Amino acid sequence: MSTSPESPSSASHPPTGIDELLERVRAGYERIEAQEAYEAARAGDALLVDIRYAALRERDGLIPGAHVVERNELEWRLDPRGSHRIPEATSHALRIIVICNEGYASSLAAQSLHQLGLHRATDLVGGFQAWRGAGLPVE
C-alpha cells in the first residue's frame, strides 16, 4: 500500500497562497487606520499590542503605551482564560489592535485571536510604518 503526499482533500483543493489567505482573513473583520487606533488607545477603548521583533523595535522605536508581546507568545498573553495572560487581558470583549511592521503578520495574528474568541481583535493597516508615517508618537 503506497501513501500519497497529498491527502484526498488537498488533491481536490489547490494550496492557498499567502495573498489569497490574507484577503480571506481580512474580509472577516474591519481593520483600523493609524489615527483611529491612536484615538481609541488614548480614550482607553483599545489595547495596542506590538508584535514586531526586537531588532525592529530597537531600530524604529516604540509606540508609547503599546504592549510588546512577541508573536510566538501572543495567544498565551491575550487569552483571558490563560494562565500566562497579561493583566489587561481580562475579557473576550477586549478591543485589541495588533501592530506589526507593515500590517501583514498582524492580520494573521488578529485572525488567530479571533479563533480564541477575541472577536474585537483587529490590526493596524500599514503597521508601525503607517503609524510613524502619520506622525503619531514614537519613543
pLDDT band per the 50, 70, 90 thresholds, residue 105: very high
Q: Do the domain assignments include residue 64?
A: yes
H/E run at residue 98: strand 96-99
Which residue range(s) make up the domain with 97?
A: 28-133
Phi, psi (rounded to 5 degrees) for 126: 85, -5
pLDDT band per the 50, 70, 90 thresholds, residue 2: very low
Q: Do the domain assignments include residue 13?
A: no
Q: Do the domain assignments include residue 10?
A: no
Partners of 68 in the β-ladder: 50
| CA nearest to 99, candidates 85, 110, 89 | 110
More confident residue, 78 or 8: 78
| CA nearest to 93, candidates 68, 127, 70, 116 | 116
Which pLDDT score is estimated for 4? 46
| CA nearest to 29, candidates 126, 118, 127, 105 | 118
Q: Do the domain assignments include residue 113?
A: yes
Q: Do the domain assignments include residue 37?
A: yes
Q: Do the domain assignments include residue 57?
A: yes
Residue-wise pLDDT for 5-32, tens only, equals: 554 555 677 888 999 999 999 999 999 9
Q: Can you read off the three cell numbers belonging to residue 15? A: 494550496
Q: Do the domain assignments include residue 16?
A: no
Give me the number of domains the chain comprises. 1
Read off the CATH number of the domain in which 47 is found. 3.40.250.10
Decide: pTM greater than 0.85: yes
**Cβ pair 134, 42 in contact under 8 A:** no
Q: Do the domain assignments include residue 9?
A: no
